[in-house]
């Protein structure tokens, strides 16, 4: 007895053929791909502090202008916090609806953490100014440089409870170097320079401080002042005159770029 061979219709036979070709092709491509291509790369994990140590964009170049274009200036205050002057600076800034960046020394931040928190609560920005304000830091060894910069950053983090970003680093005396900038960059900070140096730390008189700003300021200026490191009564007096004058000239107050 001869058995009849079952032959499916042509449309089904073509479907089986196409499915077979696709299956073989897919298997061949999968086998050809390298393990690195076929296995997704693991995604990095970590907390916010870890991420900040490897910023996506940080060229190491010093910031010397404002973040906002137009008629804005960035006020910066060094060497605090100081219980005699930092609160007075904050009061003046609030009175004139101004903001500023405070470059703080680690030893002072440890002594007065409540002032660090007050600065942050007032809507200001923080800048790491090292632990001890060693003006020869650029000549030190790698370990000393790292200890000063990372230590200053840590002092600010501990004072604020990690509530505020620390985006900037300012070398003592403005004595930057590629090594200092590289250490700061690894912790997510850019070097913060200035374009108007009031030299208020030399105590030239409030009038001279005011004149220096008035003669040098322009849109985008970063202005260097001090709220710590010595007697700053002249700076406070100059600020009472500068803030309204800047506003009258049409300047707004912002943060470094």
Active site residues: 78, 226
Question: What is the length of the chain?
Answer: 257
Phi, psi at 82, each rounded to 5°: -130, 125
How far apart CA 185 and CA 166 sit, in angstroms, is 12
Residue 184's closest CA among 70, 14, 193?
193
- Print burial letters for 76-109: b (CB count within 10 Å at least 16), e (below 16): bbbbbbbeebbbbbbebbeeeebbbbbbbbbebb
Please give the DSSP secondary-structure letter assigned to residue 206. H
Structure tokens, 242: 């500068």
């Amino acid at each position: 007895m001869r058995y009849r061979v079952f032959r499916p219709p042509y449309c089904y036979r073509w479907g089986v053929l196409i499915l077979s070709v696709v299956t073989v092709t897919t298997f061949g491509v999968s086998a050809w791909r390298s393990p690195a291509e076929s296995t997704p790369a693991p995604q990095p994990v970590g907390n916010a502090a870890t991420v900040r140590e490897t910023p996506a964009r940080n060229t190491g170049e010093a910031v010397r202008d404002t973040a906002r274009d137009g008629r804005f200036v960035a006020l910066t205050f060094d060497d605090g916090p100081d219980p005699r002057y930092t609160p007075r600076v904050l009061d003046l800034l609030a009175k004139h609806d101004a903001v500023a960046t405070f470059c703080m020394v680690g030893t002072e931040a440890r002594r007065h953490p409540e002032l660090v928190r007050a600065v942050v609560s007032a809507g200001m920005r923080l800048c790491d100014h090292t632990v001890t304000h060693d003006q020869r830091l650029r000549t030190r060894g790698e370990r000393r440089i790292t200890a000063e910069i990372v230590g200053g950053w840590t002092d600010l983090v501990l004072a604020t409870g990690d509530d505020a970003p620390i985006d900037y680093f300012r070398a003592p005396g403005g004595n930057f170097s590629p090594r200092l900038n590289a250490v700061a960059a690894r912790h997510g900070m850019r070097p913060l320079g200035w374009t108007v140096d009031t030299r208020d730390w030399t105590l030239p008189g409030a009038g001279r401080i005011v004149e220096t700003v008035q003669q040098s300021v322009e849109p985008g200026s970063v202005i260097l002042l001090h709220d710590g490191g010595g007697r700053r009564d002249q700076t406070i007096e100059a600020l009472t005159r500068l803030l309204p004058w800047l506003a009258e000239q049409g300047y707004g107050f912002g943060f470094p770029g």
